[in-house]
Amino acid sequence: MPVNPRRVHALRHAPDGGGPVLYWMSREQRAHDNWGLLHARELAGARRPLVAAFCLAARFAGAALRQYDFMLAGLEQTARTLAGLGIPLVLLEGDPGGEIPRLAARLRAGVVVTDFDPLRIKRDWQTRAARALDAPLLEVDGHNVVPCRIASYKKEYAARTIRPRIHKLLPEFLEEFPTLEPQQAPVPELPAPDWARVRQGLRADPGVAPVPTPSGETAALAALAAFVSAVLPRYAAGRNDPNAGATSRLSPYRNFGQLAPQRAALDVAASGGGENQAAFLEELVVRRELADNFCLHSPGYDTLDAAPDWARRTLDEHRADPRPHIYSREAFEAGATHDRLWNAAQNQMRASGAMHGYLRMYWAKKILEWSPDPESALATAIALNDRHLLDGRDPNGYTGILWSVAGLHDRPWARRPVIGTIRAMTESGCRRKFDVAAYIRRWGG
Ligand SMILES: Cc1cc2nc3c(=O)[nH]c(=O)nc-3n(C[C@H](O)[C@H](O)[C@H](O)COP(=O)(O)OP(=O)(O)OC[C@H]3O[C@@H](n4cnc5c(N)ncnc54)[C@H](O)[C@@H]3O)c2cc1C
Report which ligand 1 atom has the smallest distance to the Cα of 250.
Answer: 25
- DSSP E strands in 65-211: the ranges are 89-93, 111-115, 137-140
Report which ligand 1 atom has the smallest distance to the Cα of 403.
Answer: 53
Report which ligand 1 atom has the smallest distance to the Cα of 248.
Answer: 30
Residue nearest to atom 43 of ligand 1 (CA): 288
Predicted confidence pLDDT, tens digits, the chain (445 residues): 789 999 999 999 999 999 999 999 999 999 999 999 999 999 999 999 999 999 998 776 667 899 999 999 999 999 999 999 999 999 999 999 999 999 999 999 999 999 999 999 999 999 999 999 999 999 999 999 999 999 999 999 999 999 999 999 999 999 999 999 999 889 888 999 999 999 998 888 889 999 999 999 999 999 999 999 999 999 999 999 999 999 999 999 999 999 999 999 999 999 999 999 999 999 999 999 999 999 999 999 999 999 999 999 999 999 999 999 999 999 999 999 999 999 999 999 999 999 999 999 999 999 999 999 999 999 999 999 999 999 999 999 999 999 999 999 999 999 999 999 999 999 999 999 999 999 999 999 8
DSSP output for 31-43: SSS-HHHHHHHHH
391, 398, 409, 425, best to mutate for ligand 1 pocket (most atoms within 8 Å of CB): 391
CA 39 to ligand 1 center in whole angstroms = 28
Q: Is 389 in the pocket of ligand 1 (CB under 6 A)?
A: yes
Q: Is 409 in the pocket of ligand 1 (CB under 6 A)?
A: no
Q: Tell me, yes or no, whether 10 lies in a domain.
A: yes
Report which ligand 1 atom has the smallest distance to the Cα of 391.
Answer: 9
Q: With CA atoms as reference, report the closest residue to 68 among 77, 81, 59.
A: 59
Q: Indicate whether 13 and 154 sit together in one domain.
A: no
117, 143, 251, 388, best to mutate for ligand 1 pocket (most atoms within 8 Å of CB): 251
Write the CATH number for 22: 3.40.50.620
Q: Indicate whether 265 and 316 sit together in one domain.
A: no
Write the CATH number for 265: 1.25.40.80
Q: Indicate whether 415 and 379 sit together in one domain.
A: yes
Long-range contacts of 104-108 (CB under 8 A, 24+ apart): 104/22, 104/133, 104/134, 104/135, 105/134, 107/19, 107/20, 107/22, 107/51, 107/188, 108/17, 108/19, 108/20
Q: Indicate whether 150 and 278 sit together in one domain.
A: yes
Structure letter (DSSP) for residue 416? B
Other CB atoms within 10 Å distance of the CB of residue 334: 14
**Host domain of residue 321:** 304-443
Report which ligand 1 atom has the smallest distance to the Cα of 355.
Answer: 21
Q: Indicate whether 29 and 132 sit together in one domain.
A: yes
Backbone φ and ψ for 310, nearest 5 degrees, come out as: -60, -35
Please say whether the beta carbons of 395 and 445 come within 8 A. Answer: no
Q: Indicate whether 335 and 408 sit together in one domain.
A: yes
Q: Tell me, yes or no, whether 190 lies in a domain.
A: no
Q: Is 396 in the pocket of ligand 1 (CB under 6 A)?
A: yes
Q: Tell me, yes or no, whether 258 lies in a domain.
A: yes
Strands 21-25 and 50-56: parallel
Q: Indicate whether 313 and 226 sit together in one domain.
A: no
Q: Is 74 in the pocket of ligand 1 (CB under 6 A)?
A: no
Alpha helices in 184-274 (DSSP H): 195-200, 217-226, 235-238, 251-255, 261-270
